[in-house]
Amino acid sequence: MKTTRRIVQFGFLALTVVGVFVVKGNAERWCPFGGVEAIYSYATEGNMLCSLGVSNFYILAAVLLSTLLLRRVFCGYMCPIGTVSEWLQSGARRIGVRALRVPGALDRVLGLLKYPVLAFILFITYRAGELLFREFDPCYALLSRHGEDITFWAYVVSGVIVVGSLVITIPFCRWLCPLAAVLNPFSRFGLTTVKRDTKLCTDCGVCSRACPMNIPVAERDRVDEARCISCLGCLEVCRTSATDALSWGPPKTLARSWPQAALIAIMLFCISGAVATTYAFPIPSFVQTFDQTRGTQPERTATLPMEVNNLSCRGNSTLFAFFIDRDDLYEIDGYLKIEAWPGPSPAQVLITYDPAMTDEGEIKQAITESYFDSEAGFWRHSPFDIEGYDPLDDDD
């Protein structure tokens, strides 16, 4: 069981590393916690925080579903911080460093820290409209390409986690992780659990000592703690002890037990479904509507699809809307809605407009022409250019 889990952990970590450093992808767009951070701005303003996309919502939904089915399986099999932390602990044991066993009462108190951490992160994120936690995020320090947006403090936090992981089993995951705080209420109602047969159990306590989350498995008939990561380490040591008193699976009305393969299959189904849905139903990550109807609905509307360069994030999307909604020489009427997918150039954009009031040429001209600020008395250059559109070509 442990070997299988290590293989799955390695697979997810390798996939992430290749995606970031080889394919040059944006790992933040596939982070479930990004979905938590972006909910407020998307619900209230119709746009995502910079570096995030609606893929964060799909992945978050998949992780929440897997949590409802399998408890905090994301933490035990997919999270890169959890994987690295566990491997560090395993390596430390091999060279003779003994892990500290934190008393249960203290462990539970420390486990409450993740909730104020979550509240603080969401507060500063919603207030600033930016991913301020990135400056301290150990996961971003691990999986970014270490450019100018990586701060000294991100490395400090990462270093503390590394050192702590050598002597304490996954301390960040147990006590401080904000995503764990989000998952815990869902994990509490998880379908699958570890079950102990009291008739077969010899009360040796080896299962409790094997639990990385410090759950007293030997004292439970049914492990329903929210912090269970479904690692199944307790089952492995129990069977090694030839007692076989523990089993894992859904309630007895559905089945007595499931194999670890079922856990992995369900987890992969949820994640692959989220990835497939992201591409099958690409919801725009920036939406802005304009009241250009003057109290009447247009007889018909048209949509203008385009590919726009330099439309990379929330800030540029707002600037893009500014050029559409300009009030100078290139001012236009009849634009109704912008739907955009900001990201690496070129970004996809759909503009809905009233063809009786404007046309494609005027819209493209408004986007690409410089804006004259009459109050300040200077020209503001447009950073946008449209694929296949030449402002000097009269045929466009």
Mean pLDDT across the chain, nearest whole number? 90
Residue 291 has pLDDT above 80, yes or no: no
Give the percent of the chain with pLDDT over 70. 96
Whether 292 has a pLDDT exceeding 70, the answer reads no
Identify the H or E element spanning 282. none
Task: Give me the helix-helix angle, 260-280 and 55-70, nearest 10°.
Answer: 160
Mean pLDDT confidence for 296-300: 80
pLDDT at residue 207 tops 70? yes
- What does the pLDDT read at residue 185? 96
DSSP 100: P
The domains of the chain are located at 2-190+256-279, 286-386
How many CB atoms within 10 Å of residue 52?
A: 26
C-alpha 301/C-alpha 290 separation (Å) is: 14
- What does the alpha-carbon distance between residue 29 and residue 263 come to, in Å, rounded to a whole number? 25
* Six token digits for residue 194: 């570890």
pLDDT at 374 over 60: yes
Contacts of 216 (CB under 8 A, 6+ apart): 104, 208
Is residue 256 pLDDT above 80, yes or no? Answer: no
Q: What is the pLDDT, as a whole number, of residue 87?
A: 94
Radius of gyration of the chain (CA): 26
214 φ/ψ sector (left φ>0, alpha ψ -120 to 50, else beta):
left
Q: How far apart are CA 80 and CA 58, in angstroms?
A: 19
pLDDT in tens, 98-118: 888 889 899 999 999 999 999
Q: 222 pairs with which residues across the strands?
A: 195
pLDDT in the model for residue 271: 96
Per the structure block, which two tokens stand in for 282? Answer: 């690409």
- Who has greater pLDDT, 216 or 393? 216
**Over 60: is that where the pLDDT of 294 sits?**
no
DSSP 3-state assignment of 234?
A: helix
What pLDDT score was predicted for residue 395?
58
CATH topology of domain 286-386: Alpha-Beta Plaits (3.30.70)
Q: Measured at the alpha carbon of residue 231, what is the angle toward residues 225 and 233, in degrees to the nearest 5?
A: 100
Least confident of 126-130, 159-163, 260-264: 126-130
Q: Which two tokens stand for residue 65?
A: 């579903």
Residues 221-244 pLDDT 10s: 999 999 999 999 999 998 877 778
pLDDT tens figures, 307-361:
999 998 888 899 999 999 998 889 998 899 999 998 877 999 999 999 999 999 9
- 343, 314 Cβ separation under 8 angstroms: no
**Where is average pLDDT lowest: 6-15, 98-107, 271-280?**
98-107
Q: C-alpha distances in angstroms, 139 versus 129, 291, 331, 386? A: 20, 42, 45, 35
pLDDT at site 6: 95
Cis peptide bond prior to 185, omega within 30° of 0? no
Neighbours of 33 (CB within 10 A): 25
| C-alpha–C-alpha distance, residues 106 and 289, integer Å | 52
Residue 309's DSSP bridge partners are: 385
Q: Is 166 exposed, middle or buried (0-12, 13-18, 19+ CB in 10 A)?
A: middle
Express each pLDDT in 47-96 by its tens digit. Answer: 888 888 899 999 999 999 999 999 999 999 999 999 999 999 999 999 98
- pLDDT tens per residue across span 113-150: 999 999 999 999 998 888 888 888 888 888 776 666 67
Q: How many helices (H) and strands (E) does the chain have?
A: 16, 10
Give residue 369's pLDDT. 94
